[in-house]
Structure 1
Amino acid sequence: MNIYFWAMVISIAVYLLVGNYAGRKVEGIDDYYVAGRNAPTLMIVGTLVASFLSTTAFLAETGFAYDGYAVLMLALTAVNTTGYVIGALFFGRFVRRSKSLTIPEFFAKRFDSRPMQKLAGYTTVIGLTAYLLAVTQGGSIIISDVTGIPYGAALIMVWLGYMVFTLYSGSSGVVITDTIMFLLFTVVSIIALPYIINEGGGWSAVLTTLANSEAKPGIIAWHGLTGEGALWPSSQDAFIWAMILGVSWSIVLSVSPWQTSRYLMARSEHVVVRSACIAGLVLMGLYVLLMFGGAAVNLSNPNISPSEGAMIWAGMNMMPTFIGALLIAGIMAAALSSCSTFLSLVGFSVTNDIVDSRKWSEHKTLRMSRYIMFAVALFSLVLAFLRPPAVMWITYFAGTLFASSWGPVAFMSIWSRRISAPAAFVGMLVGFIVNIGSKLLDTAGMISLSVYMDPFILGFFSNVVCILVISRFTKPTVAALAYFEAIHQTPEEEFDPVEVKKTLIWPVVLMISGLAIGGGLFIFYAVPYAAAVGREFSVFSGESLLSIGYGLSVFCVGLLAFWQVKRIYGRKAALAAANKQSVEARS
């Protein structure tokens, strides 16, 4: 076995050791499900980013960039990462106030409806089991590519790695290891990119060569490859796809169970807002590195197949051995952290939301959660054996299920008094069925959906229509309305002037970073790209507009966060600070 294999083994060993340490501290349901509700900002950022990136970013989307769609992926990213701040401000902080163990439990409280909890639980199990399948396959691809061992043996290694750890430690272990893994793959990604660029002769040479690529024309154009043999016939279709998926994944980041459940662990609402700002910024920066890095691998080897192995090949062939080993260990870390998150959430949802465990003791609930997690993990292992790997497309399909089924219900549960339990139930169910049904029919060739009729769009609007129609003929219960009013009462401890001041730092950092990122892309990508293809530079070119828009999206969510924090917490915090000073002056 080579050094890359041992780097992964050490990574898994550290993972298990930390899980064992965290598992020893689990004393009850709150520790196992929501890490004692005391996680600081760094840990929430770590688990948000680690559970989102996984192998989809490091294998599938980097392979997508290698295939010719690097900048198009940035267009998608510019839209989807706004979901962190939007979700934290308009959904996540309210979920934290509910003190629920799971997001489906929040829906049960909000709508005074046990059936609502069970439906949300079932959608969680189905969607996250599919996501778990994709990430398990991604981790297995890494081990198989690096060591040459059969894919089936690699599957078992990955499965054992995350299954044993998650069963024992629950969320307490997941949030700690996610943070460790997040720090590892973030630092290694930043270190690795210069080696890939230097192999191509430096940034200027890389950009010029890619811009004039004959094998993959348009590989770093704003729209990527288009025309015959490409995924989209025109730049317009490619852009519409990116915007639709961007909006869809923005909703996913706002309300999905594996993202918003992280806020249930947060120490305060300020931690929720801060971590959302930081997570969005980290992702915006990392995707610039990963997408251009993935495209640049073409200059050293244009024939990697499948393309999902592009970054693995780069780690083993374009970097010093130690750096490459760290990169591969970091990618494996991203896979394992996501697997543990998805497995734990599925187990929690079955135990807490689908099975009626309210009469069980805490000891029995913990034991049953572990049994159920093992059964789910075993089921995902069998599926991974039977189904060919398709990491990116399974992930995208699973993610959009939550955008269609949960999106309208989640936001309206916070911002509409009129939505009733029957309306929410039917809306979520119809959104889920329409999305998954239309996708399956399209895949089977029974129907042909244009880029304008994405399953996400069909499911989302079907959901909204059902909610609006049924809410006209039904009413929320008295208990549901009382709960609605209760979660709109901001806890007094959140008005601490010191905490508000700390929180306001991060929206400002977002705004400044947005200007810097947009300016950097404009100067180092848009301007030289025009020169490389022999075209007169225009600020209205697709490359220029994408560069500006990428930075502008960061700036705008920073501005939104600053305004909302000042509006929600700042005025009362300022008044409290002034009263304190007045009292001190009189005394």
Structure 2
Amino acid sequence: MSFWTLFGFFLVVALLIIVVIVAYTKAKDVNSFFIAERKAPWYLIVGSLMASTISGAAFLGMQASFYNTGASVFWILIGCSLGFFIMCFFVGPKLRRFGKFTIPQYLAERFDSPLLKPVFSLLVTIWMVILMGTLYVQGGLLFESMFGFNYSTSILIIGVVTVLLTVFGGMISVLNSDFIAMFILLIVSVIAFPIIINAAGGWGEITTFVMAESPNFFTNTSGVGTFASLSWVIIWSLGYLGHPGFLTRFFTAKNEREIIKAGIGISVIYLPFWIMIFATATAAKILYPNIADAETIWMVSMVDYAPAFIVGLGMAAIFVGILSSVNTWLLTAATSLTLDIYKTLINKNASEKRVLGYSKLVIVILAVVAIPIGIWRPASIIEMMNIAYAIAGSAGGLVILLSMYYRKMTKEAAWSGIISGAAIAIIWRLGQGVGFVPNNIDPIIPTLAISLTLIIIVSKMTQPSKKTLNMFSRLQQPEIAKKSTTL
């Protein structure tokens, strides 16, 4: 590996270390460690949401999906865009108005059901661990390709580094390192995009070759079918909407207006970025028609065609993006387990110092639990993420959205939606794994239909409490919102 590649890589890593050191000096209490003192401006929220989305998943998993499947993968991205739109304009401002720390806290207060905190916290932890497994896969592939390390060793290194960064920096570190990763990833993509396209002979040559080899590559469904494409839209839009790792970013915002600004910023950046990723993956059909592992396309093409310094920056940005995403999932799960289970059920009078100490211990434990999933690598990155987002969307996304706009939704209805959503999604996936359930029907469709039906029926059969109705009213009226930052 050339000097300039290493220089570019470690330049970004050095910048990350500086960010973590600065964050460590500021993360002294629960407000700073968990929610960055509620002072995040819109651009840090954009950077954090984008980096968590476009890090290794974009340059490893999504590149491979575009390469293998074609333009139909854009239905996933349309679902993600829809999820971001709903989050930033319709959900995020209300969560900021609520003003606490975790999504389980919100659900428990919205439906006047304290038991929702520990139960939903466990669900949060399950899908956060699955997502961390996908990120460890990304880090393992990156280090294996870049430094020639053993895959399992690479994952262990990523695990140790992410634990250190999360324990020392908290949410302040996550927001700032995510912003740096997003900025560099976008710069590198803009530079590499024309280089790789030209190396493949230009866009006209690429499309002619690919259409001759795969006639359905550029069609709406690319041969995967309308039903599968629709399933992707629902999985990823509701999955994003039910993803506490994304939603907790809104607790960090300075105010509701910053969240709206973040939504506008994401709208400008998101799809144009993915068009570049799709184009470079399509170019790889010419450059690497028989590549052994499609999830290494970006790294191989960068090394072969981009300037060495840009290669180093690009690899480092993916590395930082992976780290930041793992940091976020670790912090989200640890925050929820500590505040929603430990402080709620075990030690209600725990001091801030004790809560922070246990949070850091939980971070270490969760990282250790997720590492075997990354080493095992039971499926492709995108398939593993599909499973996680299906659970998130089924158990959380629908319930969270309805909780903010369905006034008569009751505690019993929320429970029915969460339990049925999680149970059906998990059982359906397990059934597909053993061949009991057909693979051509994604669990999100029956799960969504059953959960929505149950929520409506149960809401009609029961009555919301006065506290539940007052909480709903509070979410609708910014001027009476309670600015609470207490545990």
Normalising by the residue count of structure 2, what TM-score does the alignment of the two structures yield?
0.93
Partner of 1:98: 98
Letter in 1 for 2:218: I
Partner of 1:282: 269
Question: Contact 1:404–1:459 at 8 Å: present in 2 too?
Answer: yes
1:142 maps to 2:130 = no
1:422 maps to 2:420 = no
Partner of 1:477: 465
Take 2:360 and 2:109, find their aligned partners in 1: how far apart are those partners? Answer: 25
* Matched residue SS, 1:112: coil
Partner of 2:172: 172
Partner of 1:456: 444
Take 1:245 and 1:486, find their aligned partners in 2: how far apart are those partners? Answer: 34
Take 1:303 and 1:332, find their aligned partners in 2: how far apart are those partners? Answer: 26
Aligned 1:210-221 pairs, distance under 5 A: 210-212=210-212, 214=213, 216-221=214-219
1:468 maps to 2:456 = yes
Unaligned runs of 5+ in 1: 227-231, 494-587
Take 2:80 and 2:377, find their aligned partners in 1: how far apart are those partners? Answer: 28
Partner of 2:259: 272
Distance change (3 Å), C-alpha of 1:449 and 1:202:
closer
1:486 maps to 2:487 = no
1:26 maps to 2:27 = yes
Give the Å deviation of 1:287. 0.5
Take 1:281 and 1:219, find their aligned partners in 2: how far apart are those partners? Answer: 26
Distance change (3 Å), C-alpha of 1:489 and 1:379:
same
Partner of 1:545: none
**More relative contact order in 1 or in 2 (CA 8 Å, sep 6+)?**
2
Take 1:308 and 1:218, find their aligned partners in 2: how far apart are those partners? Answer: 21
Aligned 1:241-390 pairs, distance under 5 A: 241-355=228-342, 356=344, 358-388=348-378, 390=380
Question: Contact 1:405–1:460 at 8 Å: present in 2 too?
Answer: no
Question: Contact 1:344–1:373 at 8 Å: present in 2 too?
Answer: yes
Partner of 2:221: 223
* Matched residue SS, 1:114: coil
Take 1:126 and 1:484, find their aligned partners in 2: how far apart are those partners? Answer: 28
Take 1:328 and 1:290, find their aligned partners in 2: how far apart are those partners? Answer: 15
Bigger CA drift: 155-164 or 4-13?
4-13
Give the Å deviation of 1:9. 4.5
Letter in 1 for 2:294: S
Letter in 1 for 2:64: G
* Matched residue SS, 2:478: coil
Give the Å deviation of 1:2. 5.0
Partner of 1:63: 64
Take 1:257 and 1:281, find their aligned partners in 2: how far apart are those partners? Answer: 24
Partner of 1:569: none
Give the Å deviation of 1:252. 2.5
Q: Decide which of 384, 400, 405 is 1:394's aligned counterpart.
A: 384
1:16 maps to 2:17 = yes
Letter in 2 for 1:367: G
Larger Rg, first or second structure (1 or 2): 1
Give the Å deviation of 1:472. 2.5
Superposed CA deviations along residues 227-266 of structure 1, whole A, max 9, x for unmatched, are: xxxxx4xxxx1x3312221122122333421111111111
Aligned 1:44-63 pairs, distance under 5 A: 44-63=45-64
Letter in 1 for 2:462: T
Superposed CA deviations along residues 297-341 of structure 1, whole A, max 9, x for unmatched, are: 121221112110111111111212222222222222221111111
* Matched residue SS, 2:115: helix
Take 1:398 and 1:297, find their aligned partners in 2: how far apart are those partners? Answer: 28
Partner of 1:207: 207
Give the Å deviation of 1:89. 2.4
Give the Å deviation of 1:53. 2.3
Take 1:8 and 1:270, find their aligned partners in 2: how far apart are those partners? Answer: 36
Question: Contact 2:78–2:233 at 8 Å: present in 1 too?
Answer: yes
Give the Å deviation of 1:145. 1.4
Superposed CA deviations along residues 191-224 of structure 1, whole A, max 9, x for unmatched, are: 1111111102222222222222x3x443334433
Take 1:383 and 1:78, find their aligned partners in 2: how far apart are those partners? Answer: 28
Question: Contact 2:62–2:382 at 8 Å: present in 1 too?
Answer: yes
Take 1:15 and 1:491, find their aligned partners in 2: how far apart are those partners? Answer: 39
Distance change (3 Å), C-alpha of 1:8 and 1:143:
farther
Bigger CA drift: 134-143 or 478-487?
478-487
Partner of 1:535: none
Take 1:11 and 1:380, find their aligned partners in 2: how far apart are those partners? Answer: 26
Letter in 1 for 2:359: S
Superposed CA deviations along residues 248-288 of structure 1, whole A, max 9, x for unmatched, are: 21223334211111111111111111101211331111110
Take 1:242 and 1:282, find their aligned partners in 2: how far apart are those partners? Answer: 23
Aligned 1:128-139 pairs, distance under 5 A: 128-139=128-139
Partner of 1:74: 74
Superposed CA deviations along residues 495-550 of structure 1, whole A, max 9, x for unmatched, are: xxxxxxxxxxxxxxxxxxxxxxxxxxxxxxxxxxxxxxxxxxxxxxxxxxxxxxxx
Question: Contact 1:5–1:147 at 8 Å: present in 2 too?
Answer: no
Take 1:151 and 1:195, find their aligned partners in 2: how far apart are those partners? Answer: 29
Unaligned runs of 5+ in 2: 482-487
Give the Å deviation of 1:74. 2.1
Partner of 2:484: none
Take 2:2 and 2:327, find their aligned partners in 1: how far apart are those partners? Answer: 26
Superposed CA deviations along residues 327-357 of structure 1, whole A, max 9, x for unmatched, are: 2222222211111111111111110112225
Give the Å deviation of 1:407. 2.2
Question: Contact 1:2–1:147 at 8 Å: present in 2 too?
Answer: no
Q: Decide which of 432, 435, 443 is 2:422's aligned counterpart.
A: 432
Partner of 1:560: none
Distance change (3 Å), C-alpha of 1:464 and 1:389:
closer
Give the Å deviation of 1:119. 1.9
Take 2:452 and 2:219, find their aligned partners in 1: how far apart are those partners? Answer: 36
Question: Contact 1:138–1:389 at 8 Å: present in 2 too?
Answer: no
Question: Contact 1:80–1:247 at 8 Å: present in 2 too?
Answer: no
Take 2:375 and 2:221, find their aligned partners in 1: how far apart are those partners? Answer: 35
Partner of 1:188: 188
Give the Å deviation of 1:90. 2.1
Distance change (3 Å), C-alpha of 1:153 and 1:445:
same
Partner of 2:197: 197
Question: Contact 1:405–1:459 at 8 Å: present in 2 too?
Answer: no
Aligned residues: 477
Question: Aligned residues: percent identity?
Answer: 24
Question: Contact 2:8–2:311 at 8 Å: present in 1 too?
Answer: no
Give the Å deviation of 1:83. 2.0
Take 1:301 and 1:12, find their aligned partners in 2: how far apart are those partners? Answer: 30
Take 1:88 and 1:456, find their aligned partners in 2: how far apart are those partners? Answer: 23
Take 2:332 and 2:102, find their aligned partners in 1: how far apart are those partners? Answer: 8
Give the Å deviation of 1:58. 1.2
